[in-house]
């Protein structure tokens, strides 16, 4: 499973990238707001840092304007994935932009039928929002499993990008189901390292090492 980071914070992306765990980045208007940066500037900086796909989202709602914004965003760098909402106009824009050879990430997906349409419109990525379904007492992970089954039934090439990952279990379950990609905030990715037995074991090793009186360097 590829790991994307869901942030527009360049310092957080740089820190995770040094560990080699960043296969791509996803942003959205809310994350651009949080960064306090101009969208084209921060997107360019991220693209210079990361080789993989960097999603940048349009804010128009009519297909023609979405296409124009998508083309402008795609000019920032060759690794831009234009992010489009899963609306009728968004799918029209998806069809046009993918025909032009641009990567497209169709976002705000909350049903398997929406994901089926996005695949038929040629989307590079489909982003089902797991956490937001959990928020309203539905099972977001069921949606990932349903889309996996449908895409495999027909060998659609659209990659399933599990989004709105709020916990390490969301990442674990996405990997078990076979999502192609997941995108999570940096703090959730960092939590993947944690295990109490690792901490306990390390404490014991350090205590015993001290008793040896030795040094390695
Ligand atoms: O990339 C968008 C998605 O991951 C949003 O997550 O936590 O705002 O629902 P969240």
Q: Is the CB of 57 under 6 A from ligand 1?
A: no
Which of 2, 1, 27 lies closest to 13, judged by CA? 27
Nearest CA to ligand 1 atom 6: 164
Q: Which of 44, 83, 190, 210 is catalytic?
A: 83
The tens digit of pLDDT for each residue in 109-155 reads: 999 999 999 999 999 999 999 999 999 999 999 999 999 999 999 99
Q: Does 83 participate in catalysis according to the annotation?
A: yes
80 forms beta bridges with 54
pLDDT of residue 191: 97
| For ligand 1, mutation pick of 81, 129, 185, 186 (most atoms within 8 Å of CB) | 129
C-alpha to C-alpha distance for 146 and 143, rounded to whole angstroms: 5
**Mind listing the pLDDT tens digit for each residue in 156-209?**
999 999 999 999 999 999 999 999 999 999 999 999 999 999 999 999 999 999
Q: What's the pLDDT at 68?
A: 98
Helix count (H) and strand count (E) of the chain? 11, 8
For residue 78, count CB atoms less than 10 angstroms from its CB and return exposed for 0-12, middle for 13-18, buried for 19 or more: exposed
Rounded Cα distance between 102 and 94, Å, is: 9
Q: Whose CA is nearest to atom 9 of ligand 1?
A: 164
Tell which atom from ligand 1 comes closest to the C-alpha of 6: 1
Cα–Cα–Cα angle for 13, 163, 29, rounded to 5 degrees? 65
Q: Are 179 and 144 in contact (CB under 8 A)?
A: yes
Mean per-residue pLDDT of the chain: 98
- 79: exposed, middle or buried (C-beta count within 10 Å: 0-12, 13-18, 19+)? middle
Give distance in angstroms: CA of 132 to centre of ligand 1: 8
The per-residue pLDDT for range 22-75, each reduced to its tens digit, is: 999 999 999 999 999 999 999 999 999 999 999 999 999 999 999 999 999 999
| Residue 56, SS3 per DSSP | strand
7 lines ligand 1 (CB under 6 A): no
pLDDT in tens, 2-19: 999 999 999 999 999 999
Which atom of ligand 1 is least distant from the CA of 30?
8
- Model confidence, pTM: 0.96
Q: For 146-187, give the DSSP string.
A: HHHHHHHHHT--PEEEEB---SHHHHHHHHHHT-SEEEE-HH
131 CB under 6 A from ligand 1? yes
What is the model's pLDDT at position 94?
98
| pLDDT at residue 27, rounded to an integer | 98
């Amino acid at each position: 499973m590829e790991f994307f980071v869901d942030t527009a914070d360049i310092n957080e992306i740089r820190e995770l990238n040094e560990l080699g765990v960043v296969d791509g980045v996803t942003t959205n208007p809310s994350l651009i707001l949080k960064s306090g940066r101009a969208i084209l500037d921060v997107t360019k900086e991220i693209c210079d840092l990361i080789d993989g796909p960097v999603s940048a989202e349009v804010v128009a709602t009519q297909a023609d304007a979405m296409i124009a914004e998508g083309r402008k965003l795609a000019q920032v760098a060759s690794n831009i994935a234009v992010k489009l909402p899963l609306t009728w106009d968004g799918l029209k824009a998806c069809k046009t932009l993918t025909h032009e050879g641009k990567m497209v990430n169709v976002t705000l997906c909350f049903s398997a039928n929406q994901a089926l349409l996005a695949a038929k419109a040629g989307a590079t990525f489909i982003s089902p929002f797991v956490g937001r379904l959990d928020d309203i007492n539905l099972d977001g992970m069921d949606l990932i499993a349903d889309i996996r089954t449908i895409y495999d039934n027909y060998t659609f090439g659209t990659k399933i990008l599990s989004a709105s990952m709020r916990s390490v279990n969301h990442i674990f379950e996405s990997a078990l189901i076979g999502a192609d990609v997941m995108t999570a905030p940096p703090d959730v990715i960092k939590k993947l390292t944690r295990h109490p037995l690792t901490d306990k074991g390390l404490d014991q090793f350090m205590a015993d090492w001290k008793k040896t009186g030795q040094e390695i360097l």
